[in-house]
């Protein structure tokens, strides 16, 4: 049996329940992993509220780290006793132990702690596909990144600096802006006190940026389009402020033949080999010192509702983990 966070109805943090659930043995292509820590992400909120529907009842959580306890037939990249971490479907990471598909579970280097592993996989792999798999980006390019002081944002600030990319970060307070700047953002904008569109145009000499990376959604989408240079790319990869309204595609032509995509991490990591290669690149950034994983909030598993409340209220910076 393993203590597991489950929802039986969609709703607020109050629907999160801690239940004892059987774990079982892994079948072909599966592993059983005993968790040391779990990560917290906005996708967990989307699933809890029903924005991303699940068949109920369902366990929650997409990211964790731990030790492999058992390996099913056909699994060759993991062995019993290996340290491992993952960001992976199906949801169910908020638990002491689980049986799950092995393909997206990654061997965790000894130099990386379990808490870091739980805090970095979904966010770090997201940054990897944003910078390496979505549109060509290289030294000298300019990116606007919203929510730059969050878990994904602080990794993105460091990642951009390590690759010679100029990152303009937005955040909701002067303190958060300073945090993003300390982690590598070239410029920061407090969107509560400044018009970020006007400021981006000023910072770029009126040209605009090559790419916008936006997980905020409804509140920032329209202004973000006006930050792009002609032929620029809008990457809308989340909706923390709510879903983006329907778009008249003709607007993209009017604003300079813009491009737009709505990617998800789970498409990028669906292929086992691609997932493992992305993880190795992420681990290399961390072990090489180019990216440091900042964990600013820690909650016991039985206080998961409080963790969700803090995340939704934008009271968090960096990464948040659930400790077991």
pLDDT of residue 105: 98
Q: Which of 72-81, 283-292, 309-318 has the weakest average pLDDT?
A: 309-318
CB-based burial label for 149 (10 Å; 0-12, 13-18, 19+): buried
DSSP states of 164-225: T-EEEEEESSHHHHHHHHHTT-SEEEETTTS-HHHHHHHHTTTS-EEEEEESS-TTTHHHHH
Question: Stretch 263-284: mean pLDDT, rounded?
Answer: 97
pLDDT of residue 118: 98
**Residue 302: DSSP 8-state:** G
Q: Give the tens place of pLDDT for each residue, 176-191.
A: 999 999 999 999 999 9
Query: What CATH fold (topology level) applies to the domain 2-123+266-323?
Result: Quinone Oxidoreductase; Chain A, domain 1 (3.90.180)
Question: Stretch 10-37: mean pLDDT, rounded?
Answer: 98
The answer on pLDDT for 41 being more than 90 is yes
Domain residue spans of the chain = 2-123+266-323, 135-262
Q: What percent of the chain has pLDDT over 90?
A: 98
pLDDT of residue 240: 86
User: Cβ distance 121 to 39 under 8 Å?
Assistant: yes
**In CATH, what number does 135-262 get?**
3.40.50.720
Q: What percent of the chain has pLDDT over 70?
A: 100
Return mean pLDDT, the chain: 97
Q: Give the tens place of pLDDT for each residue, 42-86.
A: 999 999 999 999 999 999 999 999 999 999 999 999 999 999 999
């Amino acid at each position: 049996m393993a203590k597991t966070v489950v929802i039986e109805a969609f709703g607020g943090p109050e629907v999160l329940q801690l239940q004892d659930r059987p774990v079982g043995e892994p079948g072909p292509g599966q592993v059983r992993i005993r968790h040391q820590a779990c990560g917290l992400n906005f996708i967990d909120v989307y699933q809890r509220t029903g924005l991303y529907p699940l068949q109920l009842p369902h366990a929650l959580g997409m990211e964790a780290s731990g030790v492999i306890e058992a390996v099913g037939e056909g699994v060759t990249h993991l062995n019993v006793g290996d340290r491992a971490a993952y960001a992976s479907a199906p949801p169910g990471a908020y638990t002491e132990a689980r049986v799950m598909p092995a393909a997206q579970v990654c061997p965790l280097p000894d130099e990386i702690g379990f808490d870091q592993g739980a805090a970095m996989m979904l966010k770090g792999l997201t940054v990897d596909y944003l910078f390496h798999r979505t549109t060509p980006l290289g030294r000298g390019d300019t990116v606007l990144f919203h929510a730059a002081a969050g878990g994904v944002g602080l990794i993105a600030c460091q990642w951009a600096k390590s690759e010679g990319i100029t990152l303009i970060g937005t955040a909701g307070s002067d303190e958060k802006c300073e945090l993003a700047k300390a982690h590598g953002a070239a410029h920061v904008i407090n969107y509560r006190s400044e018009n970020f569109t006007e400021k981006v145009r000023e910072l770029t000499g009126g040209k605009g940026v090559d790419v916008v990376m936006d997980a905020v959604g409804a509140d920032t989408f329209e202004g973000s389009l006006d930050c792009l240079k002609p032929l620029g790319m809008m990457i809308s990869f989340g909706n923390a402020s709510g879903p983006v309204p329907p778009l008249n595609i003709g607007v993209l032509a009017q604003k300079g033949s813009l491009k737009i995509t709505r990617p998800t991490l789970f498409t990028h990591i669906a292929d086992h080999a691609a997932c493992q290669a992305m993880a190795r690149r992420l681990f290399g950034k961390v072990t090489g010192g180019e990216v440091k994983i900042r964990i600013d909030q820690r909650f016991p598993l039985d206080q998961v509702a409080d963790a969700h409340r803090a995340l939704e209220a934008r009271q968090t910076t960096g990464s948040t983990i659930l400790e077991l």
